[in-house]
Structure 1
Amino acid sequence: RGTDGYEPALMSVQMKFPNYELIGTTEDDPDWNLYFEQLYPSELNLLSIKNRRHTEHLASLGDQLHEPRPVKHSIHFASPHAREQFVKSIAAEGFEISLNETPEPDAEYRYGVELTRRDRVDLDSIDGMAVDLSLRIMEWGGEYDGWDAVPVLGRS
């Protein structure tokens, strides 16, 4: 994209905030390197954004987020060995563990794990859990595919 519109946009902002000196510049970046390397959220920040959106959706349904309920986490690994090592590392943490495998032989992350445990889904609780799991999954080259839970309605 060219710089058309850049100066009028800057002037519009300057008029709204006359006590500030605004300085702007443009740089050709056809591969969007600045965006992807500095502005785009990291994988963990994206996970936190997804967690916030998920909890906001549950709250909009009237969910009592602080009430414990079964929470299922979906995880995928590229090898059965990595999956096995990860499962061993969390075996004592109270999760019900279910293994699965995608039937597509060319899938990069064929070897799945579902972890289920009673937990709260308020943002602080679930985000801490999901980020911790994601970091531990990354140690084994896996991918965290998110969590799900049935809403708990009407209790306080």
Structure 2
Amino acid sequence: MEEDWNLFERIRDREQVLIFMNTALKQKAPFIGYGQRITIIFNMYSLWDLSDSSTQKAQQAFYELEDRLISRMKDKGYALYAGRISSHNKMEMYFYAKDDWDWEREMKRILLDFPNFRYYFSMHLDVDWSFYLEEMAPSPLEEQWMRNAKIAYALKRRGDNLEKAREVQHWLHFPDSTRMDEMKSKVGPLGYRVIVSELDTTRQVEPYVLHLSKLHTLDVPTVNAVTKELFVLASEVGGTYDGWGTRLILKFPAKLRAHLKRVCSKMIAAFK
């Protein structure tokens, strides 16, 4: 089964939650024969007690349980894991199980392996996968936040110092010059610098391109706030936000590794 796991924030019932879901399922959902939506809700307070009130230890304990539970369900062919919704005091896991699976008896048997966790589970018929497609699935803005997180984590793995402010480029598209000019008037007072505003004759839809730049860091909360600002403003004037890009800024150890790699490459080339 194809997988593409993404993490994004959302406000639900005036509470901030994190949604971690396999967005690859969206392309083929609903899956025929997997109409039982099983919800397992874990109480995090019990994990905090077992982890000496350490949030990090409690979360790690849950993630280990999650991995084992997913493996058990997948190996047995019982269900597809749609994802989880995390809040301050609970973790909600969502599976879509086979229609003929005796879910209650088997779930009790599986969860016997996790006696230290406080949880409850339930099943709802959802043959259309409406919860996954309508309640969990990301909005266009949340999809941008998913991309933000992926880019930021990729930069971090390459040694980028995300806390270092740098010029970040942003691109927006508009159907006409009037809307583009209106956007320019809105972003100027907010600290954005216009690099290019032009008609791109190669584009058939929204051919007017606005290329902006702003100095900011690349930690996920900051990037999400900036992209939300531009996303909302562009929508208000009838345009579309189309993403961002920047240059890599390495931390000192990463710079040193990159320098040594270049030196070693030159030395090897010299002896060939």
TM-score (structure 2 length as normaliser): 0.50
Amino acid in structure 2 at the alignment position of 1:94: G
1:103-134 per-position Cα deviation (integer Å, ceiling 9, x unaligned): 236x2211111111221111121111111111
- 1:2 CA displacement: 2.4
Paired with 1:132 and 1:153, the residues of 2 have a C-alpha distance of: 27
Q: In the alignment, is residue 2 of structure 1 matched against residue 38 of structure 2? A: no
Aligned with 2:110 (options 8, 16, 28): 16
Secondary structure of residue in 2 paired with 1:45: helix
Name the CA distance, whole Å, in 1 between partners of 2:200 and 2:139.
27
Deviations 1:16-51 (A, max 9, x none): 22575643233443xx65543222111222221111
State yes or no: 1:99 paired with 2:197.
Answer: yes
1:50 to 144, 147, 161: 147
Q: Secondary structure at the match of 2:201?
A: coil
Task: Say whether residues 1:26 and 2:120 are aligned partners.
Answer: no
Is the contact between residue 75 and residue 145 of structure 1 (CA under 8 Å) also seen in structure 2?
yes
Aligned-pair CA distance for 1:80: 1.3
Query: Within 5 A, what are the aligned runs for 1:80-91?
Result: 80-91=177-188
Distance across 1 between alignment mates of 2:206 and 2:143? 20
Match in the other structure for 1:138: 235
CA contact (8 A) 1:14 1:22 kept: no
Q: Which has the higher contact order (CA 8 A, sep 6+)?
A: 1
Q: Secondary structure at the match of 1:121?
A: coil
Closer/same/farther in 2, CA of residues 36 and 5 from structure 1, 3 Å limit: closer
Partner of 1:147: 244
Task: Kindly provide the amino acid, as one letter, of the partner of residue 148 in structure 2.
Answer: N
Runs of at least 5 residues in structure 1 that lack an aligned partner in the other structure: none
Pick which of 14-23 and 72-81 moved more.
Answer: 14-23
Contact kept in structure 2, 1:76 and 1:111, CA below 8 Å: yes
In 1, the alpha carbon distance for the partners of 2:178 and 2:102 equals 55
Structure number with greater Rg is 2
Two-structure CA RMSD over aligned residues (Å): 2.4
Q: Check 1:64–1:9 CA distance in 2 against 1; reply closer, same or farther (3 A cut).
A: farther
Partner amino acid, structure 2, of 1:24: M
Distance 2:133 2:126 in 1: 15
* Counterpart secondary structure, 2:241: strand
- For residues 168 and 231 of structure 2, what CA distance do their matches in structure 1 show? 15
Gaps of 5+ in 2: 1-31, 35-96, 113-117, 254-272
Distance 2:102 2:206 in 1: 45
1:71 counterpart residue number: 168
- Structure showing the higher strand proportion among its residues: 2
CA contact (8 A) 1:64 1:155 kept: no
| Cα distance, 1:154–1:28 mapped onto 2, change above 3 Å | closer
Query: What SS does the aligned partner of 2:173 have?
Result: strand
- Return the alpha-carbon distance in structure 1 between the equivalents of residues 197 and 161 of structure 2: 30
